[in-house]
């Protein structure tokens, strides 16, 4: 068995702005694992706010490749003990799933016990901009997309939501503050957000301040994102959040993400699936998680100038499953 890893840079169609960062490119790490002449592929972007950068991922993956070169055995169970949760383990784990599917002739969905993949509707994200600009974009999108995710994070947030709701009165809306608010702002804004029909708010407070949410008085359900990675974090978010956002990069791969679905449900948490920046190769395994989630946020490849060959077909916010040549 051999492993190769490389970074790839994909241009975005326009700058993507959130509360803590402006992105103009998607930098990902692609992994290939070869065994018996068959190659499995995976992709990850890492978790940048945890220092999980492409450079760090490549170092971890090259160490893993050296182990394989020295004859060590690798499967998905063994991988969980060799690498921590994060992008490197995600890319390698998904490559192993792909390899297993190709060698066995049984799809990853079947192997995971997931129902056959069908088209799903994803939320489509509006990056932060002025209220007027975001309202204008929502108006342009209103005939195509029925579900919009709104990036928030400063004093103009309510004006953004008002403009978007006026421009897209029938759209489903969720929002993401990316740690940009205080508890006082959250409690002040939540009643009007509920009136505007916002269904969910992701990560209003900074990491480490989740206990303050015991004093949240609003009706809009909250979703843990940056405060939550994998099963080890579940007990810290129960009672503070109604939802958790499962991302393969945070969880460290599809194997942990699927286990996380069951563990989160056991604790009464509702489920959202999301993604970091990347191509259809990185998002494809998340479709297996999406089958169990109420909120689907898998629009990352739509933001790229050019997706990978064989990538998803996105039409009016509907994600059309890939063919077997892409992944799984």
Q: Which of 102, 137, 151, 250 is catalytic?
A: 151
Q: At what angle do helices 87-104 and 254-266 cross, to 10 degrees?
A: 100
Q: Which helix (H) or strand (E) holds 14?
A: strand 2-18
Residue 76 to residues 63, 65, 73, 82, 277, Cα–Cα distance (Å): 16, 15, 10, 10, 24
- Tell me the pairing of strands 2-18 and 21-35: antiparallel
- CA 23 to centroid of chain Cα atoms: 16
Dist. CA 262–CA 75, nearest whole Å: 22
CB atoms within 10 A of CB 63: 12
Check: CB of residue 246 under 8 Å from CB of residue 257: yes
Dist. CA 128–CA 150, nearest whole Å: 8
**DSSP state at residue 299:** -
Burial class (CB in 10 A: 0-12, 13-18, 19+), 303: buried
Sheet bearing 313-315, strands edge to edge: 120-121, 318-320, 313-315
Our answer to whether residue 102 is catalytic in this structure is no
Q: Which residue has the tokens 């974009």?
A: 137
Check: CB of residue 82 under 8 Å from CB of residue 26: no
Q: Which of 102, 149, 247, 250 is catalytic?
A: 247
Our answer to whether residue 151 is catalytic in this structure is yes
Which residues have a catalytic role annotated?
151, 247
């Amino acid at each position: 068995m051999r492993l190769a890893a490389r970074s790839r840079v994909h241009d975005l169609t326009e700058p993507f702005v959130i509360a803590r960062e402006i992105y103009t490119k998607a930098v990902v790490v692609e992994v290939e694992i070869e065994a018996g002449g068959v190659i499995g592929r995976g992709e990850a972007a890492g978790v940048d706010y945890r220092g999980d950068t492409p450079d760090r991922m490549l170092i971890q993956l090259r160490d893993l490749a050296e182990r394989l070169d020295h004859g060590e055995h690798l499967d998905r169970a063994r991988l969980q003990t060799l690498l921590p949760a994060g992008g490197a383990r995600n890319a390698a784990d998904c490559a192993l799933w792909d390899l297993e599917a190709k060698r066995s002739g049984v799809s990853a969905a079947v192997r995971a016990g997931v129902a056959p993949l069908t088209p799903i509707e994803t939320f489509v994200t509006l990056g932060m901009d002025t209220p007027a600009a975001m309202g204008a974009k929502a108006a342009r999108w209103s005939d195509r997309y029925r579900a919009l995710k709104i990036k928030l994070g400063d004093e103009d947030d309510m004006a953004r939501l008002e403009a978007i709701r006026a421009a897209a009165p029938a759209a489903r809306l969720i929002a993401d503050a990316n740690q940009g608010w205080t508890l006082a702002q959250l409690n002040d804004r939540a009643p009007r957000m509920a009136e505007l029909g916002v269904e969910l708010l992701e990560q209003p407070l900074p990491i480490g301040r989740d206990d303050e949410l015991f004093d949240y008085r609003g009706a809009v359900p909250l979703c843990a994102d940056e405060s939550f990675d994998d099963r080890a974090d579940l007990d810290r978010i129960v009672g503070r959040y109604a939802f958790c956002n499962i991302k393969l990069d945070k969880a460290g791969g599809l194997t942990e993400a699927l286990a996380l679905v069951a563990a989160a449900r056991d604790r009464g948490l509702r489920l959202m699936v999301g993604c970091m920046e990347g191509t259809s190769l990185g998002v494809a395994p998340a479709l297996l998680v999406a089958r169990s989630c109420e909120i689907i946020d898998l629009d990352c490849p739509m933001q790229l100038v050019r997706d990978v060959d064989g990538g998803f077909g996105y039409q009016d916010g509907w994600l059309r499953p890939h063919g077997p040549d892409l992944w799984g």
